[in-house]
Structure 1
Amino acid sequence: MIYEMRQYRCVPGRLPALLKRFETITLKIWEKHGIKQAGFFTTLIGESHQELTYFLAWESLAEREKKWGAFVADPEWLEGSAKSVADGEIVANIVSQILKPTAFSSVK
């Protein structure tokens, strides 16, 4: 199992719009494509309170490539994403890392 950590730095004041998009659009489409989330987090203490960090669980890089590619090309996602930014951009920056658990990790 590998994990992907994604951090979204929002345009100031737009974190609520990003959270709404995940709750009402993104998660439903992920379910359709078999994408497994491993947790969502907002920043309580840290550099910015305008961030969303989440983890995805993948069996392999090949699974990620196949499922993520299908997700980003999904017409329902493209339409929902476009509607969610109709009143302004939401995300200023995205950072993604693919992580491999260590032999002694409690998460495998």
Structure 2
Amino acid sequence: MFWEAVMQFEGIDWTELSIYFEVVEQNYDGGQDEKVLILTKDFLRSTLMSDREPEVANGIRQFLAKLYKNSIEHKHNAPIWKGLLEVNDDFTLIKYTILLLEHMWY
């Protein structure tokens, strides 16, 4: 899988998914985060019910695992990431990720 060779998740910023899925360049500077998150949501929507759905869900799980590990000391956030990691259905995981991205700026 090409994406796995591109980067290792730090689990600190949701724009890591944007870089991982090549929505933005690997040298993304963090500017225009709202626009990038919208582009990432659109990308995720485009993968639903496609042959890429399992691959994309696996990438999301890798990110969430690192995010969960980094947020254990933040007890108010950790259960959210742990709960998402327990979602076994790829379609559902991607849909929930889209919903999270939609609510990051509102």
Common topology (TM > 0.5) = no
Q: TM-score range by the shorter chain?
A: 0.3 to 0.5
Could you tell me the TM-score, scaled by structure 2's length? 0.35
Could you tell me the TM-score, scaled by structure 1's length? 0.34
- The structure, 1 or 2, with the larger RCO (C-alpha pairs under 8 Å, 6+ apart) is 1
Q: Name the structure where helix makes up a greater proportion of residues.
A: 2
